[in-house]
Structure 1
Amino acid sequence: MVNSKSKKEYVHSTQPYVSKWRIFQRLYFIDPCIRVLSRREGSVLDLGCGGGAVTRTLARRLPNHKFYGIDISPNAIKKAKEIPSNINFRQANAANLPYPRSYFSAVISLEVLEHLQNVRKVLEEVNRVLKTGGYFYFSTPLEGDSATLYGLLRNNFGYDPHLPLYGHVQKFSYNSLVDKLSKAGFGVLETTYCAHFLNQLYSLCLKFIEKRMPPKLRTMFIPVSAMASLVSGIESFLLRKARGGLNVQIACRKL
Structure 2
Amino acid sequence: MTITAPPGGLRDFYENPAVPVASGTPRSLRQARMLATALGKGTSLILDIGCGDGTAAATAAPLLPGHRIIGVDWSQDALTRARPHLAYAIRGELTDGGLPFRTAAADAVLFSEVIEHLVDPDAALDELRRVLRPGGHLMLSTPNLAAWYNRALLLAGVQPVFSEVSLRAIHGRPGREVVGHLRLYTARALREFVAAAGFEVVRLQGAPFHGVPRPLRALDRLACARPALASILLLHARRT
Deviation at 1:151, TM superposition (A): 4.9
TM-score for the superposition, normalised by structure 2? 0.75
Matches of 1:172 and 1:39 in 2, distance apart? 33
> Which of the two has greater helix per residue?
1
Paired position in structure 1 for 2:132: 130
Q: Say which SS state the counterpart of residue 121 (structure 1) adopts.
A: helix
Among 226, 229, 232, the residue aligned to 1:247: 232
Deviation at 1:78, TM superposition (A): 1.2
Structure 1 unaligned residues grouped into runs of 5+: 207-224
**Are the structure 2 counterparts of residues 27 and 105 from structure 1 closer, same or farther at C-alpha, using a change threshold of 3 Å?**
closer
Paired position in structure 1 for 2:118: 116
Deviation at 1:235, TM superposition (A): 1.7
Check conservation: 1:36, 1:137, Cα contact below 8 A. no
Structure 2 unaligned residues grouped into runs of 5+: 2-9, 165-169, 171-177
Q: Say which SS state the counterpart of residue 243 (structure 1) adopts.
A: helix
Deviation at 1:159, TM superposition (A): 2.0
What does 1:102-181 align with in structure 2 at a 5 Å threshold? 102-143=104-145, 145=146, 148-151=148-151, 153-154=153-154, 157=157, 159-162=159-162, 163=164, 164=170, 165-181=178-194
Check conservation: 1:68, 1:89, Cα contact below 8 A. yes
Amino acid at match of 1:247: I
Q: Say which SS state the counterpart of residue 176 (structure 1) adopts.
A: helix
Q: Say which SS state the counterpart of residue 69 (structure 2) adopts.
A: strand
Amino acid at match of 2:182: V
Number of residue pairs matched by the alignment: 214
**Are the structure 2 counterparts of residues 114 and 28 from structure 1 closer, same or farther at C-alpha, using a change threshold of 3 Å?**
same
**Are the structure 2 counterparts of residues 120 and 32 from structure 1 closer, same or farther at C-alpha, using a change threshold of 3 Å?**
same
Deviation at 1:9, TM superposition (A): 3.8
Check conservation: 1:40, 1:105, Cα contact below 8 A. no
Amino acid at match of 2:53: G
Matched, 1:12 2:21: yes
Check conservation: 2:186, 2:228, Cα contact below 8 A. no
> CA RMSD of the aligned region, Å?
3.1
What does the per-residue CA deviation read over 1:161-217, in whole Å, with 9 as the maximum and x for residues that have no partner?
A: 33222211102122222222122110000110133xxx79x94xx5xxxxxxxxxxx
Matches of 1:67 and 1:121 in 2, distance apart? 23
Q: Which has the larger radius of gyration?
A: 1
Paired position in structure 1 for 2:197: 184
Matches of 1:26 and 1:182 in 2, distance apart? 23
